[in-house]
Amino acid sequence: MTDRALWHGQAHMPTSQAQRLVVTDGDGAWLTTSDGRRLLDATASLWHANVGHGRERIARAAYEQMRRLETYHVFGRFANEPALDLADRLADLGPVQGGRVMLTSGGSDSVDLACKLVRRHWQLEGRPEKTVVVSRETAYHGLHGFGTSIAGLPYNREGYGSASLVPETLRIPAHDLGAALAQLDAFGTDRVAAIILEPVIGTGGVFGPVEGYLEGLQAFAQERDVLLVVDEVITGFGRTGVMFASERYALEPDLVLMAKGLTSGYAPLGAVLVAPRVADRFFDGDDAPMFRHGLTYSGHATACAVAHANLDVLEEEGLVERAAHLEKVLADAVQPLADHPLVHEVRAGAGFLAGVQVVDEVRGDDVAQECVRRGVLTRTIHANTLQICPPFVTTEDEVRLVATTVADALDTF
């Protein structure tokens, strides 16, 4: 085991090598491991397996596109049909009217693109001092250069020699609107390019928005000429019971970031939906400026074909509505855990996802290990919290099984 070359992401390698869990097969909400165990995937892998594992139809879409044309790039005048069609589809589906879409390879790419584009926007507006990107404490926006710089989880930002890889960043309180606005006021919004936020904080411990926070921040941003970037990498494509959480929380973003549920993990793909306020100038007139951004695999044809098939499944099987229904089933199932002496807090009810925060005296990692031993795959995220975020195809009984397994696992400590 220990001589394998793979360097895991976000891993203490000695521990990960000793405890490596190799998933070999997936079918719906269930996984098989290399040692023959069958596990219920209570985290949808890394929050992405929304339509469930092992879908023949999506695999076929990839095969057929690859046989025809694996991909062709979309730099300059070049394009491919799946990318053109997917961009149109996302512009129609997304929570922004008349927007334009740039495609990426995943969530961190979408974050990087967005942070560059908001700065570019203000340069072109003749407001060159507006360079700072504001994020919330405990936020997670991926781990590229920009995502690292705006990380609200300090351990993801630290250890690179300077306070932030990109210096022009600022963190605000994640839930206290008054404190957040006071800090922004004191800092001076004339220097702020954008506020970026997850409508429901995921990796930071699963926190739905406190009433009034998102609305208040949005109103403030609109008043002060600050762009609003909504990171829907987890929440997009149904996780909160509607296609995008922006709809649920009445947000009007200037940029919407997508990944994960866009393909449910069947191919690496992300997208940024850009509102006309920002995008239009790049599309109109001979003297239109350029946004010098792009990736070899922006608009990868096979990944886009996979996204189409995934969205077809989502729509035809009514899985967004199903997620809305399962939100309540999950909330009812996990709520009793709040009475367990080893549980600090249960957070649910902001979509088909939940966090069970274990008291500091017990390591959440040990509880997660015990759950896996009992057949339910979960893991810990920030704040000693167990992540619960199953695929939308999970049955009601399986949702309840997740909760009872957590309870049984806790009883062993």
Distance CA 346, CA 207 (A): 10
Complex with ligand PLP: residue 100 or 136, whichever CB lies closer: 136
Stretch that binds ligand PLP, among 100-108, 280-288, 289-297, 338-346 (CB under 6 A): 100-108
Binding mask 7-46 for ligand PLP (x = CB under 6 A): ---------------------------------------x
Q: Is residue 143 within 8 Å of residue 111, measured between CB atoms?
A: no
Alpha-carbon distances of 15 from 11, 42, 382, 386, rounded to whole Å: 8, 22, 18, 18
CB of 240 to ligand PLP, least distance (A): 13
> Locate tokens 């057929």: which residue?
64
Amino acid (1-letter code) at residue 238:
G
Q: Which stretch binds ligand PLP (CB under 6 A): 134-142, 296-304, 327-335, 383-391?
A: 134-142
Sheet holding 270-274, edge to edge: 100-104, 270-274, 255-258, 227-231, 192-197, 132-136, 169-172
CB of 142 to ligand PLP, least distance (A): 3
Instruction: Please count the CA atoms within 13 angstroms of the CA of 275 that sit on its side-chain side.
Output: 16
Query: Shortest approach of ligand PLP to residue 237 CB, angstroms?
Result: 13
Residues 146-185, mask of contacts with ligand PLP (x by CB under 6 A): ----------------------------------------
Q: Bridge partners of 23?
A: 33
Sequence-ordered list of residues with C-beta below 8 angstroms from that of 219, at least 6 positions apart, any chain: none
Give least dist CB 144 to ligand PLP, A: 7
**Shortest Cβ distance from residue 397 to ligand PLP (Å)?**
28
What kind and span of H or E run contains 180? helix 177-187
Residue 141 within binding range of ligand PLP, rule CB under 6 A: yes
Position among 80, 108, 148, 380 found at the interface with ligand PLP (CB under 6 A): 108
**Could you tell me where the DSSP H helices lie in 94-139?**
107-124
Task: Record the tokens describing residue 237, joined without a space.
Answer: 């494509």
Rounded to an integer, what distance in angstroms lies between the CA atom of residue 233 and that of residue 244?
Answer: 10
Size of the site for ligand PLP (CB under 6 A): 16
Residue 111 engages ligand PLP in binding (rule: CB under 6 A): yes
Residue 229 engages ligand PLP in binding (rule: CB under 6 A): no
Select the span of 128-136, 226-234, 392-400, 402-410 touching ligand PLP (CB under 6 A): 226-234
> Which of left, alpha, beta for 47 (phi over 0: left; psi -120 to 50: alpha)?
left
Asked if 206 contacts 330 with a C-beta cutoff of 8 angstroms, the reply is no
State which of residues 44, 58, 62, 259 lies at the interface with ligand PLP (CB under 6 A): 259
Residues, the chain: 413
Which lies closer to ligand PLP via its Cβ, residue 106 or residue 391? 106
Tell me if 234 contacts ligand PLP by CB under 6 A. yes
* Cβ contact 136:173 at 8 Å: yes
CB of 156 to ligand PLP, least distance (A): 11
DSSP state for residue 191 in the 8-state scheme: G
Contact 182, 119 (CB under 8 A): no
Near ligand PLP by CB under 6 A: residue from 30, 122, 140, 249:
140
Residue nearer to ligand PLP on the CB measure, 253 or 405: 253
Beta partners for residue 135, in sequence order: 171
Residues 180-219 within binding reach of ligand PLP (CB under 6 A): 198, 202-203
Q: Is 405 in the site for ligand PLP (CB under 6 A)?
A: no
Under the binding rule (CB under 6 A), the answer on residue 142 touching ligand PLP is yes
Q: By CB under 6 A, is residue 106 in contact with ligand PLP? A: yes
Nearer to ligand PLP, 233 or 271 (CB): 233
Minimum separation from the CB atom of position 128 to ligand PLP (A): 28
Q: Closest separation between CB of residue 135 and ligand PLP, Å?
A: 11
Q: How far is the CB of 143 from ligand PLP (least distance, A)?
A: 7
Helix (H) or strand (E) holding 92: helix 81-93
Pairing label, strands 100-104, 270-274:
antiparallel
Task: Provide the strand spans (E) within 36-79.
Answer: 38-41
Give me the residues that bind ligand PLP (CB under 6 A), please.
46-47, 106-108, 111, 140-142, 198, 202-203, 231, 233-234, 259
